[in-house]
Amino acid sequence: SRSGGRPRLPAPAGLLGDPDPEEAVSDDSSRHGGRVRGFPHERGNWATHVYLPYIAQEEFLELLELLVSRARTYVPSLAAMEEFHLSLSQCVVLRYHWIEPFVRSLRERLAAFHRFFCVADQVKVYTNQNKTRTFIGLEVSAGHFQLLELVSEVDGVLEEFDLPTFYKDPSFHISLAWCVGDLSGRLEGLCLRELQDIVDGFEDSAFVLRIQWEQIRCKSGNKYFSFPLR
Q: Are strands 84-87 and 79-80 parallel, antiparallel or unpaired?
A: unpaired
Using an 8 Å Cβ cutoff, are 20 and 8 in contact? yes
Q: In whole angstroms, give the CA distance from residue 181 to residue 116.
A: 35
Q: In whole angstroms, give the CA distance from residue 156 to residue 151.
A: 8
Residue closest to 206 by CA, chosen among 117, 87, 86: 117
Residue closest to 156 by CA, chosen among 108, 113, 191: 108
Torsion of CA 213, 104, 165, 49, to 10 degrees: -60
Q: In whole angstroms, give the CA distance from residue 227 to residue 215.
A: 5
| DSSP state for residue 97 in the 8-state scheme | G
Catalytic residue among 85, 97, 114, 144: 85
Distances (CA, A) of 214 to 44, 104, 118: 31, 19, 12
Cα 79 from chain centroid (whole Å): 16
Catalytic residue among 32, 97, 144, 173: 173
41 is catalytic: no
173 is catalytic: yes
Q: In whole angstroms, give the CA distance from residue 182 to residue 154.
A: 29
Q: Please identify every residue annotated as catalytic.
A: 85, 173
